[in-house]
Structure 1
Amino acid sequence: MTPAFWRGVWWLPSTPETQSPGQLRVDADGTCRLEIVGSLNLGAVGQAADDATRPRGDRVPEIHGMSKGKPITLLDCFTTASDGFSASTRSYQDIHVQEALIGAHVARDEPAFAAAIVEIENLTSWLAHPNIIERSDDGEGQHATTSRPPDLSCVIDGWTITARGLAQPFRANHKHSRLVVEGEVSTYLVLAPPEPVAAREFHGLVHEISDLITLAAGEASDQISLTLIHREPTIMPERDGSTFEMDTQVESFGARIHTAMPEEASPMDWRLLFSCRDHTFQDLVVDWLRVRRRAPDACNVYFGLRYARPRYTETRLLLTAITAEALHKGLVDATALSDADIEQTRLARLRDEQREVAKKLGKTPTFRERAIGLAAKPDADAVRELIPDIEAWADRLKDARNNLAHTGNETTDDDIFYLEWVTSSLLALVLMAELGLSPETQRRAVRDILSPPR
């Protein structure tokens, strides 16, 4: 998006009678900044909201505003620049805004939103809707039709997640040299909690689903837009004097690590590791959310490497090794006792039985054992094609990780670019296996996409 501006008046919810002019600026990466002419006394509100012995400084949970008749709420705000030490002496004040909600006045923790509509990069390709575009040629000319894709839906933890499509009418663009006829099919997700929630409750789920599509696409796939649906509809007048209800839509803006590029070309279907053609939408989304929530730390590091990829191979290799260890802890948890172990502990009477249980309690896998354990999770043929010698790979990864972690240098003669590539590819295979994707899908992914470049 291009930078956007909302000029108007702004005030603190606790003192609506004290208003200051200014403008809200939203940059292309979603960063929000409120530029006030004069000052808002954020410090006084922050102090009043907390114990007097622990001042919070110029920070408030929300600021309200009005621009062109539209209500605006700014969440988690703090001063970044000003030209004075008190509100009465300042001529300007720049305020950082974590999230801007255009279209409603709400409190930070107010459960005001009944649903959200989100667009995510590469979502349309990943959904793999069949027969949404059909072409034919009757000899006289070519014909094309676009169809609205069917809704796909699933439920997890009371939240309903629905993928919906929209087929736009064909349009003709007249050029100096030719006539271009274009059609368009787009998709979006509707996230509906079991009951209204605060705006911030949607961000975690959007982030988790973005990670799923990023895994499938092999490239950063992040939020393009987020529109929240207020729990109270807007009453609109009809010409005959009657009224009707419309959803109250509230646009949400906020800074993100990756800036979405919706007009860029999406990967071709054969470049996706998997799609809804390989597994159902419901199974992929539900299973992914469960897997992601079992290993949040590992996934945060792994996908951080996708959204903000470091330039140095050493950094990528160290972070990939960290991901492998954390992923094994989250998914395998080899040190946990089974129900049978617990029962054995309770009923143990012999010294030998107690000794065996104590060994299980005290055993913590080494990094090398964790790496080998991860390699055992995906399809064996897919892993073998990617990493022919698992034992040697685990040794090299362990040595490289220890060297980088303890000395900051990688002193071996191994190709660490290759080592980082195959390790990262193995992690993708592990996540695919956890999603229940077939061995054939995993082997195709290795053969066509994940194998290191020659």
Structure 2
Amino acid sequence: MMSKDARLDLPAEWTGNWWLPENPEHPVPGVLRYEPEEGLRLLLIGGFEDRTFHPIDGGMDEADETFTWPLLLGSADNKEITLLDCLSVSSESYGLGVGGLHKQTVSALTALVGVHLKNVDQEAFTKCEVSVENLNLWSDSSVFTKTLGIKDEKLNGEGSIHVKPTNEPSVAVSGTMISLAHVHTLPHFDHMRGQTRGRMRDTVHVRFEPTKACSLAGAREYARAIQDLVSLATHTACAILWIQLRMPPKDRDYYPEGYPIRDREVKVYFQGTVRGDAEAKALNRNDVLFTCHDLPFEEIMPRWWDIRQRFQPASNMILGLRYAPARYVEGNLLTATGAAEVLHRALRIDESPIPKEDFGPLREVLLDQTPDKYRSWVKGKLRNEPTLRERLIALAALPDEETMSTLVPDIDQWAKVTTQARNDLAHNGQTPKQSIDQLLASVKVTSAVVIFNLLQVLGVPGERQREVIHRNSELHQTAMQARIHLTVSEK
């Protein structure tokens, strides 16, 4: 049975009929199943033709190709369903020309439950609601408050839990209204044979309301933006828990005047890069880099949208180490240093080691002294850009000074070791001059420097940065590794 919130960490199933958009007169019965570990599978009794035959002398030859369908439509459990990016995984038949397909399994990348789309790019959705892991913690807001009874400076056994709707902070960003919203249940008692349990639930999500209806791709981009923000803020890979879209109801004109009409709900299913678990225990608050208490929601969202545009390659690379970390330290080193380089360029720090007015004439003199047959090669090498080592040193100078001195006690040595390791790995495929402990420390420190630069441009106060470097268990350990393995005093 489909979960009420369409959670991506829970299985779901729909039974009904399915058809190709161009052939609705020939539906095929089947079951659509969603599993968090496997994604979407459509199990059909019968199927859609997924083979092409070419006549040859004495018979038919089956073409060696894989069939895909951009869209499949279905009507299951009283729901309209659209499947996107479908692929025939397996098909069985009784034999060529004998009754067609017996059964077929089709995989799909995305299922939209509640709508039949005309095409993948259809701009049909007026709202997008997204929930990601640890959003409750990051939002620093709740509909719940509690009290404990005290008498004579001792707990007297009395207490209460109150629920009260909270304000929804909202801000307009690039033509889209973004709100932080809560959905909560009222108090309920479960009377069991051995105990009575009272429960309520508060779920936080972010709601996007664009001025113009958006496509599924636009909605997915909203979801990724929130996922990346919360993952950066909590210093961990946060999964998308659910996405729900809304669109205008059908046949609005046929309802009586004043009749309350609700928008249609469309639930989105897909297999995420990160598997979520809504029931898992929340993070330790000390490990979170910042919350809406440090930067109010109305301030952080416009800044994050700007930063995603300016620094998205660096953000993607550094968060990629969280979402899908490489198994080898060498891959992580290349990713971390690559993120540092592209971030340094995006910050538009003066990148010219030689003043531009001096470099031009110097370049011409060098080229004049170069034989013609080598001039093209030399011309390509003459670039007035800083080295990776210089970029790393410049990045370490931008966040809070006390924080950086704690994280990287010896900036020159860290930059030297990291640059040498990256160059040796990129050019020779190995790092003979660095120990594995140095490589691990270089990856962690370089990643942390990039993260603190992102926090700096987001506006996270220096005081909060100093708290983070001491309270976050992973960053505290990174600073210890830097002191041991990335200082000149190391033997």
TM normalised by structure 2 equals 0.79
- How far does residue 173 in structure 1 lie from its aligned partner after superposition? 3.5
User: Secondary structure of 1:72's match?
Assistant: strand
Q: How does 1:28-177 map to 2 (within 5 A)?
A: 28-29=36-37, 31-41=39-49, 58-83=67-92, 89-107=100-118, 108-129=120-141, 132-137=144-149, 139=156, 141-177=158-194
Using a 3 Å threshold, how does the CA distance of structure 1 residues 332 and 10 change in structure 2: closer, same or farther?
A: same
SS in 1 for 2:419: helix
1:187-198 equivalences under 5 Å are: 187-198=204-215
Distance 1:452 1:373, change over 3 A: same
In 1, the alpha carbon distance for the partners of 2:305 and 2:96 equals: 47
Deviations 1:5-37 (A, max 9, x none): 212111111111121112211111471122222
Q: Partner of 2:314: helix, strand, or coil?
A: helix
Kindly provide the amino acid, as one letter, of the partner of residue 23 in structure 1.
V
- Give the structure 2 partner of residue 290 of structure 1: 306
**C-alpha distance in 2 between matches for 1:151 and 1:68:** 34
Change (3 A) 1:258 1:37: same
- The residue aligned with 1:332 is 348
Instruction: Name which of structure 1's ranges 305-314 and 369-378 shifts more when overlaid on structure 2.
Output: 305-314
Q: CA distance change for structure 1 residues 352 and 322 in 2, over 3 Å: closer, same or farther?
A: closer
Tell me how far apart the structure 2 counterparts of residues 294 and 6 of structure 1 sit (CA, whole Å): 42
Distance 1:218 1:233 in 2: 43
The count of residues paired between Structure 1 and Structure 2 equals 431
Question: Of the candidates 233, 245, 262, which is equivalent to residue 278 of structure 2?
Answer: 262
Instruction: After TM superposition, give the deviation of residue 136 of structure 1 in Å.
Output: 3.0
Q: How does 1:292-307 map to 2 (within 5 A)?
A: 292-307=308-323
Identity score, percent: 27
CA contact (8 A) 2:11 2:36 kept: yes
CA contact (8 A) 1:43 1:59 kept: no
Segments of structure 2 that go 5 or more residues without pairing to the other structure are: 1-8, 53-63, 151-155, 366-381, 481-491
Highest CA radius of gyration, 1 or 2? 2
Separation in 1, partners of 2:358, 2:396: 33
Residue 47 of structure 1: aligned partner: none
Q: Is the 8 A contact 2:144 2:161 kept in 1?
A: no
Deviation of the 1:56 alpha carbon: 9.2
Query: Equivalents in 2 of 1:409, 1:182: separation in Å?
Result: 57
Is the partner of 1:104 in helix, strand or coil?
A: coil
Q: Is the 8 A contact 2:126 2:214 kept in 1?
A: yes
Question: Tell me, what secondary structure is at the counterpart of 1:451?
Answer: helix
* CA shift for structure 1 position 57: 5.7
The one-letter amino acid of 2:132's match is I
Counterpart Cα distance in 1 of 2:406 and 2:344: 21
Q: Distance in 2 between matches of 1:358 and 1:170?
A: 79
- The letter for the 2-side match of 1:10 is W
In the alignment, which residue of structure 1 is the partner of 2:14?
A: 6
* TM superposition score normalised by structure 1: 0.85
Q: CA deviation at 1:140?
A: 5.8
Find the aligned partners of 1:293 and 1:131 in 2 and give their Cα distance: 33
* Deviation at residue 354 of structure 1 after TM alignment: 5.7
Inter-CA distance 353–99: structure 2 relative to 1 (3 Å threshold): closer
RMSD: 3.2
- What is the one-letter code of the residue matched to 2:27? Q
Aligned-pair distance for 1:249? 0.3
- Where in structure 1 do 4 or more consecutive aligned residues deviate above 6 Å? 84-88, 234-238, 356-359
Say which is worse superposed, 227-236 or 21-30, in terms of deviation: 227-236
Question: Residues 136-177 of structure 1, C-alpha deviation per residue, up to 9 Å, x if partnerless?
Answer: 315461122132221011221101111111332223344554
1:428 aligns with 2:428: no
Equivalent AA in structure 1 for residue 227 of structure 2 = S
Which residue is 2:413 aligned to?
392
Q: How does 1:341-360 map to 2 (within 5 A)?
A: 355=361
Rounded to whole Å, the distance in 2 between the matches of 1:7 and 1:297 is 42
Note the C-alpha offset of 1:233.
Answer: 5.3
Q: Which amino acid counterpart does residue 280 of structure 2 have in structure 1?
A: E
User: Structure 2 counterpart of 1:35, which letter?
Assistant: L
1:363 pairs with 377, 384, 399, which one?
384
Residues 431-442 of structure 1 correspond to what in structure 2 (within 5 A)? 431-442=454-465
> Does structure 1 conserve the Cα–Cα contact (< 8 Å) formed by 2:86 and 2:108?
yes
Give 1:182 deviation, angstroms: 3.0
Q: Which moved more, 1:85-94 or 1:435-444?
A: 85-94
Query: Which amino acid is 1:68 matched to?
Result: D
Per the TM alignment, residue 202 of structure 1 is displaced from its structure 2 partner at its CA by: 0.8
User: In structure 1, what is the Cα distance between the partners aligned to 2:41 and 2:364?
Assistant: 57
Alpha carbons of 1:357 and 1:135: their partners in 2 closer, same or farther (altered >3 Å)?
farther
Q: Does 1:220 align with 2:237?
A: yes
Q: Which amino acid aligns with 1:374?
A: L
- The aligned amino acid for 1:141 is E
Aligned to 1:230: 247
Opposite residue 41 of structure 2, the aligned amino acid is R
Between the aligned partners of 2:312 and 2:364, the Cα distance in structure 1 is: 29
CA offset digits 1:275-310 (Å, max 9, x no partner): 111111122121112112212222222112112233
Cα deviation code 1:296-337 (max 9, x no counterpart): 22222211211223343333233222222222233336559x
Worse-superposed segment, 242-251 or 383-392 = 242-251
Q: Contact 1:233–1:246 (CA<8 Å) still a contact in 2?
A: no
Does 2:26 match 1:18? Answer: yes
Answering whether residue 397 of structure 2 is matched by residue 376 of structure 1, we say yes
Q: Is the 8 A contact 2:313 2:342 kept in 1?
A: yes
CA-CA distance at 1:130 after TM superposition: 7.0
Alpha-carbon distance, 1:400 to partner = 1.8
Distance 1:358 1:248, change over 3 A: farther
Task: Note if contact 1:64-1:74 (Cα within 8 Å) is conserved in structure 2.
Answer: yes
Q: Deviations over 1:368-414 (max 9, x none)?
A: 12212221221111111100111111011112222333344332135
Equivalent residue, structure 1, for 2:486:
none
8 Å CA contact 2:143, 2:184 repeated in 1: no
Q: Cα 1:110–1:294, aligned 2, differ >3 Å: closer, same or farther?
A: same
Q: CA deviation at 1:365?
A: 2.1
Mapped contact 1:112–1:198 kept (Cα < 8 A): yes
> Aligned pair in 2 of structure 1 residues 434, 234: CA closer, same or farther (>3 Å)?
farther
